[in-house]
Amino acid sequence: MPTEIERKFLVKNDDWRSLGTGTFYCQGYLVNSPSKTLRVRIAGEQAYLTIKGATTGIARAEYEYSIPVDHAQELLQTLCEPALIQKTRYRVELGGVVWEIDEFDGENQGLIVAEVELADEKQAIALPDWIGAEVSHDRRYYNANLSKHPYCRWAEQAIEDGPTTVE
């Protein structure tokens, strides 16, 4: 079974910007639940349909298939749940791994997250100086959740939910 093993981090400064070039991504979800997602993505001039299973630790099943760009555009416009994720992804090779830095647009503007895919969950990696807090286990930072609960609304949601202290 194809498996994605990924760690996510916040980005704390702009030192990465000179290290890679960006590609615009637009993606949406046909199915978006904690146990599975079915995503449509246009990345530059290519399009994909991706099926992902539930996350266990930092791993999950992942199946990805190329599809025609015009099909992806139709799916994004007609069948995907609102809201679409828009971002520019930068690829940076450092220390034997590829970092993917996502700078979000639209309702997630202001959020920058770096991901690194690993060969196994215990793989050691050197963290570049522009890497901040790890958010691998914080579901708010999953793209599927950002489509339902955009970053621009997090402060508003925290006010509505009230204090989070435990008595």
Q: Which long-range contacts (CB under 8 A, 24 or more apart) does 103-106 make?
A: 103/22, 104/146, 104/151, 106/150
- From the list 25, 29, 90, 142, the catalytic residue is 29
In which region does residue 40 sit, left (phi positive, over 0), alpha (psi from -120 to 50) or beta (all else)?
beta
User: 154 pairs with which residues across the strands?
Assistant: none
Instruction: Give CA 146 to chain center in angstroms.
Output: 8
CA dist., res. 46 & res. 40, Å (int): 11
63 is catalytic: no
What positions carry a catalytic annotation?
Answer: 29
